[in-house]
Amino acid sequence: MKKKIPVKKSGAQAVSDNTTRNGGHELWSSGLAMLDEIAPRIKLEEGIYTILRKPELELTVNIPVTMDDEHVEVFTGYRIQHSNARGPCKGGIRYHPSVNLNEIRALAALMTWKCAVVNVPYGGAKGGVQCDPMHMSVGELQRMTRGFTKMILPVIGGKRDIPAPDMNTNEQTMAWIVDTVSSIKGNMELEIVTGKPVSLGGAAGRKEATGRGVAMCIKELLKRKNLPIENTTVAVQGFGNVGSNAATALHEMGCKVVAVSDITGGFYNRHGLDIHAVNKYLATHPKRLLEGYKPEGADRITNEELLALKVDLLVPAALENQIHAGNVDSVRAGMIVEAANGPVTREADMVLDSRNVLLVPDILANAGGVVVSYLEWVQNLQCFMWPAEEVNKNLERTMTESFDNVWNLSRQHDVSLRIAAYMLAVGKVADVMRLRGLSHSTE
């Protein structure tokens, strides 16, 4: 008989239930309130409105994982499908201590609107596991991923629901999912996920796509405001995959990125940071964090201090609810582009709007990832691949056209870019629901 292993606190007990539940509730409530506001603006029928207020499918699973020291932990995971009206559901899988049911509900709905804004024929879904990947080994993460995949397999599929990377998941995570599903099905299932390594059917440029899309939106925003790209000061909160790629693209465009941060804190240099040097350091860090980095001429700052910097443009690219009622008065940026999902709470959004802060919403700004995910999915279904140049050209065309559509609708109705984006998105979903007969019109 094996010696009993004492249960230790690790990834599964990283945060309290209250912390995770409250954060998700805020995001879900904000999403419902936005739908409430949009419905009368576009004369949405009661039946469609009622349907869109609830996800179509919610799956909660509990995943037993044998940890490296042989004790067993059980991780809670979710897969939620909000709407398949416009096509198969699409949405990432995140690993984070704050993952909870309401958060995943909200993010699934955001994916529905995001896909509609950029006119990708998908519905919205999201998944996640409540864990702390920073305190888990590669082996533990792989075992958890394979267990999670087996449990959600009944509701995912290349023509039903296609996962992708999200916070703390990546190409390797997607490769584990492909292998798990293919082993069970007995044939290669490349189309089961997007965001895979290029050598396993992934699209060239997918990893950088969300960040590049953010930069493309910023380019269009500055053009509409007749502001020069050169020397526009930018602060990026959250230097993960999206934030780092957005900062890199902006740096190469000529913007002056003066501050960046991650969970370990950040740096500020009013003359601008060498983003390529920051990226080089990250590549050497085992967890790709900024801790230990000492850029010349830069001051160490906290995430809160970064949000309060007087810059031309603020890019929140970390978690949701970063700008809220408690700190919105300290935000001094003239423009905000939401690279993260839901980084500005509804109450803070109204305050910023009253101060004429120009904000590009998440469902437009960070949609670059789903655009290239769609291209990857098409490649997998048809067994061919586009070169990187073609992928990037399609991405820029789609993001530019989508920004133009939202901007014009905003000016036409004299509303914020967020309201305009939601009017466009909800309207597109409602149109398809009417055509499919998913709700009876009251007219």
Transcribe 280-295 into DSSP letters.
HHHHHSTT---TT---
CA dist., res. 73 & res. 143, Å (int): 11
CA atoms within a 13 Å half-sphere pointing along the CA-CB vector of 368 = 32
Q: What is the SS3 assignment for 333?
A: coil
CA dist., res. 210 & res. 347, Å (int): 26
CA dist., res. 247 & res. 249, Å (int): 6
Residue 5 is classified by DSSP as: P
Residue 357 is classified by DSSP as: -
Order across the sheet with 89-96: list the strands.
57-66, 72-83, 123-130, 89-96, 161-165
Q: How do beta strands 335-337 and 358-360 pair?
A: parallel
Terminal Cα distance for the chain, rounded: 71
CA-nearest of 254, 241, 171, 169 to 208 is: 241
96-377-152-92 Cα dihedral, nearest 10 degrees: 20
CA dist., res. 260 & res. 316, Å (int): 10
Is 126 labeled as catalytic in the residue annotation? yes
Q: Where are the alpha helices (DSSP H) in 285-345?
A: 303-307
Single out the catalytic residue among 114, 126, 219, 256. Answer: 126
Q: What is the SS3 assignment for 163?
A: strand
Query: Taking every pair of C-alpha atoms in the chain, what is the biggest distance, in angstroms?
Result: 73
Q: How do beta strands 256-262 and 233-237 pair?
A: parallel
CA dist., res. 426 & res. 83, Å (int): 11
Give the catalytic positions in this structure.
126
